[in-house]
Structure 1
Amino acid sequence: MVSALTKNDSDSMRSGVSRYAKRLKDLSDEAAEIRRRHLKGELSTAEAEKRLAELRNRHVSFIDRFF
C-alpha cells in the first residue's frame, strides 16, 4: 500500500526535526561551555569529564532517538 504525505504530515515532521535540531544545538552549546571553562582553568579535568558524562547521560534517550 502506498501512502502520500499530506501537507499536515510534512509540517508535523518538519516541526519534529526542528525541535530535535534545537535540542541537539543546546547540547552542543552546553558541551562547548564545559570545554571552554576547562580550557580557562575554571574546571579541573575531572570536573569537566564529570559534567560532560552527566550531560551525555541526562540526554542519552534523546540522542538514541535522534540517531
Structure 2
Amino acid sequence: MIYPNDHRPAHVHVIGRGKEAVLLLNCPDGPADVRENFGFSGRELQHIVTGLAASITALCQKWSEVHGSY
C-alpha cells in the first residue's frame, strides 16, 4: 500500500492477518529494507522483501506518480 498523504522517503506498507510492516523502497533500484515490523516473523519478512524485489521499479514509479519524487 502506498498512501497518497504519506511522507518521504519512498516506502510501502505491507498489511495482512493483523500484521504490518513498513519497507523502504530505496528507489530507484532497491533493494527494499524493513523499517518497521509489527508481527511478521523473520521468515515472512524475507518472503516479503524477496517478493518486492521484482516490483521495485514499478513501486518506485508509482510512488513518484503519487508524491512527485522519491
- In terms of fraction of residues, the more helix-rich structure is 1
TM-score (norm 2): 0.31
- In terms of fraction of residues, the more strand-rich structure is 2
Higher relative contact order (CA 8 A, sep 6+): 2
* Larger radius of gyration between Structure 1 and Structure 2: 1
